Chain A
C-alpha cells in the first residue's frame, strides 16, 4: 500500500490543485470561507459570554476560552468537511472514474492534500489569534510535537472515517443527511465551548476518548497553556487506529468502485 501511495503522490497534488483552482473560480470568496465561519462563531461566543458575565473587555482567562472556541470551531469545520468530502469521493468523482482507467489512490490523496491546504490556512489563523489575544505559544519542542501529532490525528481520523463511509454514502443519500444531523451534537460533546474534563471517573471522559476531536482539541489547548497533554493516550490511539482504518479502507475501495459505479448508473 505504501509504495502505491508514494507512486501517486504527485497525481494526488495535481488533482488537489485542480480542485483548489475550481474552488477559487466558482466561489466569489474562495478560501475566505475557511476563516469566515470560525471568526463569526468566535465573535458570537465573545459577545454572548460577555453579556452573560456582564463584562465589556476580554480578560486573560477569558482569552483562553475565546481561543478554544475559535480553534475548536475552525478545526471542527475542517474535520467535518474532510469527513464529508471523503465520504462523497466516489459520487463526486464518478465521471472521472467512469471516463478513465485510474487508481482511486490519487483521488483519496487529493482530498487529503486539499485538507492540508485548508489546515495550513487554519493553522495560520490560529497563530494570528494567539497573537491577537496576547497568549503564549508552546516553548518546548515536545509541545510543538504534540501539535503536529494533533493535526495529523485530525487529518487521519477524518480521512479514515470518511473513507469507511464512502461506499455507503455512494449507495445511500441517507449517510450524507445523517452526517449533517450529527454536526451540531458532535460540536456540543466536543470540548469547544467548555474545557475538556479531567475527571477520569466521569462518563464524559470516556466519551472524549472515543470522540476523535476531543483528544485533539484538548491536547492542543493543554500544550498552548503549558500543561502536560491530558488526552495524549487517546490521541495516539486515534492516530494509530485511524491510520490502520485508512489503509484498510483504501485497499477495500478498489474492489468496491465497480459495484458503486454500477449502482450510480455507470
Chain B
C-alpha cells in the first residue's frame, strides 16, 4: 500500500511559563527571517517535550488510532502533522492532500451562515461554478441540519457545529483525514453516519483518529499507536493498542484512593473460581465470581449494591439486592452472593460495595474498591460481553 504520511523523529517542546513561551516565540520569529529551521534538541528552563522522537507511517486504506492518556501528546502530534504547530526536531512527509478537523469551530466565521461558510471554504479550496454548488449540496445533505444551514453559525448547538465541521472536512475526500475527538458530540444517528463516511474514505485514503472512546476506536480503526509522555510506546494492531491503553489506565486506577464511607460497617470480599480477589489480580473471561462478607453491623433489610466500574471509573454495571426478593433471617452474620461469570472484555475494572438504608434513600456505607484485570481476547471494546445460548432451527 502507498505510504501517505511518514513521520520521522518528530519532537515538539512546550514551555510551562507564558513569558518564556513568548520569548521563545519571538526568537523563533527572528530566526525565521534569517533561514530555515534548525533542530533544537536542548530543553531550556520550564520547557518539556510534548513529543519526543515520534516516528510512524500511515498508508492508504489505514485508519490509525492515536491512543494515550491526557497529556500524552495525541493532539499535539495531529497538529504537527497538519502543519498547525512548528516542529522542533524531525520531519513530516506528506504524500497527498490533507483534511482535518482538529476543533469544533473548524474555522467557521461565526456571523456567516452555514451555507456562506461552506461556500467560502469551497472557494478557498479553489472550487468554482457547478463544483462549488455540488460541494454545498453534499455538505448540506451530510450535515442534515435543516433550516439552520442558512442561519449564522454562532446560533448553532455544539452538535450542529460538529455535524457541519465533519461534513465540510470529509466531503472533499482528502488523501489524509485527521480527526481529533470530533465524534464526542452529535447524536447516535449522526455518529453512525460518520462511521460509514470514515469507512468509505479509508478505502482510498488514510485516516488518523484520536478518541477516548474505545468503542469508536475498536469499531473504526485497523491500526493503532499508543503514546506515553510524548513517545510512541506501541505501533501495531488496534486491539493491542487498546489493550495497552486499558492496561496503563488500570495501573493508574490501582494507585488512586477512592471515596469511602463507613467502611467498618461491612467486610466484603470477592472470590473468582474460589480464589480471593486482591488488587490488580488477573481474572479470566467467564470465571465465576462470588461476593462474601460480614454484615453483622448492618440493619436488617439494608440494600446492597455491588458496583462494577471500568478503568476510567465509569460505572458500567451493578448487582442490586433490591432486584431480588430476599428473606433476611433474624440475626444474619454473613452474606454470600453469586454474581455469575465474569463476562467482561479484557481490561482493567474495579469492584466496590455500596450499602443503602432499607428504603434505599440513605447512604450507609461505601467500601474501598478492589481493582482487577480481565484477561483474554479483546473483541471490539464493549466492556460487558455476555454469552448467550445460541441455537438453530433447520
Q: Say which residue of A15, A95, A167, A266 sits within 8 Å of B108 (CB atoms).
A: A95
Give the residues from 216 to 266 in chain A that come closer than 8 angstroms, CB to CB, to chain B. 252, 255-256, 258-263, 266
A183 contacts the other chain (CB 8 A): no
- Asked whether, in the complex, the Cβ of A95 is within 8 Å of the Cβ of B107, the reply is yes
How far is it, in angstroms, between the C-alpha of A231 and the C-alpha of B120 when the chains are bound? Answer: 42
Kindly supply a per-residue 1/0 record for chain A positions 76-113, scoring 1 wherever the CB is within 8 Å of any chain B CB and 0 otherwise: 00000000000000000001111111100010000000
Known contacts A99-B105, A106-B124; A259/B112 CB under 8 A: no
Q: Which residues of A contact B120 (CB under 8 A)?
A: 14-15, 18
- Asked whether, in the complex, the Cβ of B25 is within 8 Å of the Cβ of A259, the reply is yes
Known contacts A171-B25, A263-B22; A18/B112 CB under 8 A: yes
How far is it, in angstroms, between the C-alpha of A96 and the C-alpha of B84 when the chains are bound? Answer: 11
- Asked whether, in the complex, the Cβ of B111 is within 8 Å of the Cβ of A25, the reply is yes
Who on chain B is nearest to A249 by CB? B33
How far is it, in angstroms, between the C-alpha of A100 and the C-alpha of B124 when the chains are bound? Answer: 9
- Asked whether, in the complex, the Cβ of B79 is within 8 Å of the Cβ of A14, the reply is no
Which one of B96-104, B188-196, B367-375 contacts A?
Answer: B96-104
How far is it, in angstroms, between the C-alpha of A237 and the C-alpha of B322 when the chains are bound? Answer: 89
How far is it, in angstroms, between the C-alpha of A73 and the C-alpha of B44 when the chains are bound? Answer: 49
Q: Which residues of B contact A96 (CB under 8 A)?
A: 107, 109
Q: Which residues of B contact A41 (CB under 8 A)?
A: none
- Asked whether, in the complex, the Cβ of A261 is within 8 Å of the Cβ of B29, the reply is no
- Asked whether, in the complex, the Cβ of B85 is within 8 Å of the Cβ of A255, the reply is no
Count residues of B near A (Cβ-Cβ below 8 Å).
Answer: 36
Q: Tell me how far the C-beta of A131 lies from the nearest C-beta in chain B, rounded to whole angstroms.
A: 37
Give the residues from 153 to 177 in chain A that come closer than 8 angstroms, CB to CB, to chain B. 167-168, 171-172
Q: Tell me how far the C-beta of B283 lies from the nearest C-beta in chain A, rounded to whole angstroms.
A: 44
**Which label, helix, strand, loop or mixed, suits the secondary structure of the A interface?**
helix
Who on chain B is nearest to A103 by CB? B124
- Asked whether, in the complex, the Cβ of B99 is within 8 Å of the Cβ of A101, the reply is yes
Q: Say which residue of B86, B99, B123, B165 sits within 8 Å of A258 (CB atoms).
A: B86
Q: Which residues of B contact A11 (CB under 8 A)?
A: 123-124, 126
Q: Say which residue of B84, B128, B165 sits within 8 Å of A266 (CB atoms).
A: B84
B28 contacts the other chain (CB 8 A): yes
B21 contacts the other chain (CB 8 A): yes
Q: Tell me how far the C-beta of A146 lies from the nearest C-beta in chain B, rounded to whole angstroms.
A: 34
- Asked whether, in the complex, the Cβ of B126 is within 8 Å of the Cβ of A99, the reply is no
Kindly supply a per-residue 1/0 record for chain B positions 59-95, scoring 1 wherever the CB is within 8 Å of any chain A CB and 0 otherwise: 0000000000000000000010011111000000000
B32 contacts the other chain (CB 8 A): yes
- Asked whether, in the complex, the Cβ of A259 is within 8 Å of the Cβ of B116, the reply is no
- Asked whether, in the complex, the Cβ of A172 is within 8 Å of the Cβ of B22, the reply is yes
Choose among B86, B100, B108 the residue with the greatest number of A CB atoms under 10 Å from its CB: B86
Q: Tell me how far the C-beta of B250 lies from the nearest C-beta in chain A, rounded to whole angstroms.
A: 33
How far is it, in angstroms, between the C-alpha of A106 and the C-alpha of B26 when the chains are bound? Answer: 25
Q: Say which residue of B29, B107, B112 sits within 8 Å of A98 (CB atoms).
A: B107
Choose among A96, A106, A256 the residue with the greatest number of B CB atoms under 10 Å from its CB: A96
- Asked whether, in the complex, the Cβ of A26 is within 8 Å of the Cβ of B111, the reply is yes
Q: Which residues of A contact B79 (CB under 8 A)?
A: 266
Known contacts A11-B126, A256-B29, A262-B25; A99/B116 CB under 8 A: no
- Asked whether, in the complex, the Cβ of B107 is within 8 Å of the Cβ of A167, the reply is no
- Asked whether, in the complex, the Cβ of A98 is within 8 Å of the Cβ of B21, the reply is no
B145 contacts the other chain (CB 8 A): no
Known contacts A98-B102, A98-B103, A100-B124; A261/B85 CB under 8 A: yes
- Asked whether, in the complex, the Cβ of A259 is within 8 Å of the Cβ of B107, the reply is no
How far is it, in angstroms, between the C-alpha of A95 and the C-alpha of B110 when the chains are bound? Answer: 10
How far is it, in angstroms, between the C-alpha of A263 and the C-alpha of B17 when the chains are bound? Answer: 12
- Asked whether, in the complex, the Cβ of A171 is within 8 Å of the Cβ of B26, the reply is yes
Kindly supply a per-residue 1/0 record for chain B positions 21-47, scoring 1 wherever the CB is within 8 Å of any chain A CB and 0 otherwise: 110011011001100010000000000
How far is it, in angstroms, between the C-alpha of A259 and the C-alpha of B85 when the chains are bound? Answer: 6
How far is it, in angstroms, between the C-alpha of A18 and the C-alpha of B110 when the chains are bound? Answer: 12
A22 contacts the other chain (CB 8 A): yes
B282 contacts the other chain (CB 8 A): no
- Asked whether, in the complex, the Cβ of A95 is within 8 Å of the Cβ of B83, the reply is no
Who on chain A is nearest to B110 by CB? A95
A10 contacts the other chain (CB 8 A): yes
- Asked whether, in the complex, the Cβ of B29 is within 8 Å of the Cβ of A171, the reply is yes
- Asked whether, in the complex, the Cβ of B105 is within 8 Å of the Cβ of A262, the reply is no
The 8 closest A-B pairs by CB, nearest first: A99-B107, A258-B86, A14-B123, A263-B25, A96-B107, A99-B106, A255-B32, A259-B28
27 pairs of residues in contact across A and B, judged by CB atoms under 8 Å: A10-B123, A10-B126, A14-B120, A14-B123, A15-B120, A18-B109, A22-B111, A95-B107, A95-B108, A98-B84, A99-B106, A99-B165, A100-B106, A100-B124, A101-B83, A101-B98, A101-B99, A167-B29, A171-B25, A171-B29, A172-B26, A255-B32, A255-B37, A260-B25, A262-B86, A266-B79, A266-B84
Q: Which residue numbers of B lie inside 8 Å of A, CB to CB?
A: 21-22, 25-26, 28-29, 32-33, 37, 79, 82-86, 98-100, 102-103, 105-109, 111-112, 116, 120-121, 123-126, 128, 165
Q: Which residue numbers of A lie inside 8 Å of B, CB to CB?
A: 10-11, 14-15, 18, 21-22, 25-26, 95-102, 106, 167-168, 171-172, 252, 255-256, 258-263, 266
A18-B116, A262-B84, A262-B86 are known; give 6 further A-B pairs, CB within 8 A: A14-B124, A95-B105, A97-B107, A101-B98, A259-B29, A261-B84
